[in-house]
């Protein structure tokens, strides 16, 4: 029995998670899988009921399942809460509590959407790389932190084991792909980055087949836009990864297309990278593909069923090739379909493939 905790969260979260569940149940039937799903509150939806964004009950459920599928959290209603009560603080806490130290974000272009990017199709065509961001260390968690009237301060710190485990995962990922790894740092300015670089090179000794390339983060931001095809796997620390993974994602099209996986030694959480999109929430307009592709990543990473992940990607590709578009990925002249219509089409494609 596969146990999945689902957390719709806020805004469009419930709409896109409903789409993902429809796809899951089609796969369950097709492949005779036994999947148990259990829904929990998180974010504003939890705050309104329990007065806190993340309850111990939700956290316990996330710790006792095979994988977590999250929609999105937050919205204007909860924006003015104190920093420590905001949805972002709850997101950081859940990552830390589940030990989700690695965030995987694919930057892969669907041919049918080559025109949806801000880059020229010939620069973009064939782009397929994975950004691995360290997620539970670095400046987002380092102490001391704070501000007063005169100054504000944060601390960028990495322990040896934190760099070693993410580097190892990055080399292992590169071994399964094109065997090329780019480690992004700022070793010319930051001691913490020089430390990062030293450890990545140590770990490299265990993976001699992988070609390792160091790149400064400012250059990397430029290279991702100039020539994205040069990358296979990128690994970087929390702060730089936050920015580089957004740039990498956006060159491939809309926020509504981008899945992610956050992985630790014992737990994993899958979610689209977009937020709760309050401007379109409740209108059946959200693009569910990012969340459906997050389910594909779940089959790849947590359930070791690559063939089912591939089926999901193929179904998405076929539907895009048929010309079906939600509003966020439509060009002028395209007819626009709803969340439920595109979900039905993807599900129907799974059933026939």
Residues in the chain, overall count? 353
Query: Could you please report the per-residue DSSP string of 81-122?
Result: S-GGGSHHHHHHHHHHHTT--EEEEEEE--GGGGGGSSS-HH
Let me know if 108 is a catalytic residue.
no
Instruction: Pick the closest to residue 291 from 22, 1, 2 (CA basis).
Output: 22
Asked if residue 47 lies in contact with residue 321, where contact means CB atoms within 8 angstroms, the answer is: no
Query: d(Cα 259, Cα 256) in Å, to the nearest integer?
Result: 8
Q: Which residues pair with 6 in a beta bridge?
A: 39, 69
Catalytic residue among 186, 270, 285, 328: 186
Q: Is 246 a catalytic residue?
A: yes
H/E element, 69: strand 67-72
Check residue 320 for interaction with ligand NAD (CB under 6 A).
Answer: no
CA 155/CA 143 separation, integer angstroms: 6
Contact with ligand NAD (CB under 6 A): which of 48, 56, 159, 279?
A: 279
Helix H or strand E segment including 279: none
User: Which of 32-40, 98-106, 113-121, 278-286 is the region at the interface with ligand NAD (rule: CB under 6 A)?
Assistant: 278-286
Which among 246, 310, 313, 344 is annotated as catalytic? 246
Strand partners, 35: 2
Closest residue to ligand NAD: CB criterion: 275
CA-closest candidate to residue 100, choices 233, 266, 255? 266
Name the residue nearer to ligand NAD (CB basis): 40 or 186. Answer: 40
* DSSP code of residue 336: B
Interface with ligand NAD includes 15 (CB under 6 A)? no
Is residue 86 part of the annotated active site? The answer reads no
Contact 248, 222 (CB under 8 A): no
Residue 242 annotated in active site: yes
The residue from 47, 140, 158, 270 that is catalytic is 140
Out of 14, 103, 127, 287, the residue judged to bind ligand NAD by CB under 6 A: 287
75 binds ligand NAD, rule: CB under 6 A: yes
Active site residue 185: no
From residue 256 to residue 275, the character string flagging contacts with ligand NAD as x (rule: CB under 6 A) and all else as - is: x--------------x--xx
If the CB atoms of residues 259 and 264 are measured against ligand NAD, the closer one turns out to be 259
Near ligand NAD by CB under 6 A, which window of 28-36, 45-53, 211-219, 285-293?
Answer: 285-293
137 binds ligand NAD (CB under 6 A): no
Q: Within 13 A of 193's CA, how many CA atoms are on the CB side?
A: 18
- Binders of ligand NAD among 198-237, rule CB under 6 A? none
**Prior bond of 144 cis (ω within 30°):** yes
Chain positions contacting ligand NAD, by CB under 6 A: 12, 16, 72-75, 87, 91, 255-256, 271, 274-280, 286-287, 290, 328
- Catalytic residue set: 140, 186, 218, 242, 246
């Amino acid at each position: 029995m596969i146990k999945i905790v689902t957390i719709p969260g806020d805004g469009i979260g419930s709409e896109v998670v409903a789409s993902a569940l429809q796809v899951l149940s089609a796969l369950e039937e097709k492949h005779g899988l036994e999947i148990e799903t259990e829904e929990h509150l998180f974010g504003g939806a939890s705050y309104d009921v329990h007065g806190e964004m993340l309850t111990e009950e939700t956290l316990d459920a996330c710790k006792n399942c095979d994988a977590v599928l999250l929609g999105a959290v937050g919205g204007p209603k909860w924006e003015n809460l104190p920093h420590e009560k905001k949805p972002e603080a709850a997101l950081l806490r859940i990552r830390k509590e589940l030990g989700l130290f690695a965030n995987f974000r694919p930057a892969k272009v669907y041919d049918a959407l080559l025109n949806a990017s801000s880059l020229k199709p010939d620069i973009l065509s064939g782009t397929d790389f994975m950004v691995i961001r360290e997620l539970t260390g670095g400046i987002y968690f380092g102490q001391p932190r704070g501000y007063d009237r005169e100054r504000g301060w944060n601390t960028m710190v990495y322990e040896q084991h934190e760099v070693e485990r993410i580097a190892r995962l990055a080399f292992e990922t590169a071994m399964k792909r094109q065997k090329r790894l780019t480690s992004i740092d700022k070793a010319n300015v930051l001691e913490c980055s020089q430390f990062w670089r030293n450890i990545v090179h140590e770990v490299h000794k265990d993976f001699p087949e992988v070609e390792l390339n160091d790149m400064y983060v400012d250059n990397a931001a430029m290279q991702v836009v100039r020539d994205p095809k040069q990358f296979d796997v990128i690994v970087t620390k929390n702060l730089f990864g936050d920015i580089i993974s957004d740039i990498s994602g956006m060159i491939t099209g809309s926020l509504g297309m981008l899945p992610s996986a956050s992985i630790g030694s014992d737990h994993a959480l899958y979610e689209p990278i977009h937020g709760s999109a309050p401007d379109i929430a409740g209108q059946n307009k959200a693009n569910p593909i990012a969340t459906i592709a997050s389910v594909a990543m779940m089959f790849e990473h947590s359930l070791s069923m690559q063939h089912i992940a591939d089926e999901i990607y193929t179904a998405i590709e076929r539907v895009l090739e048929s010309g079906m578009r939600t509003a966020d990925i439509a060009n002028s002249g395209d007819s626009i379909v709803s969340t439920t219509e595109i979900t039905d089409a993807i599900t129907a494609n799974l059933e026939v493939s």
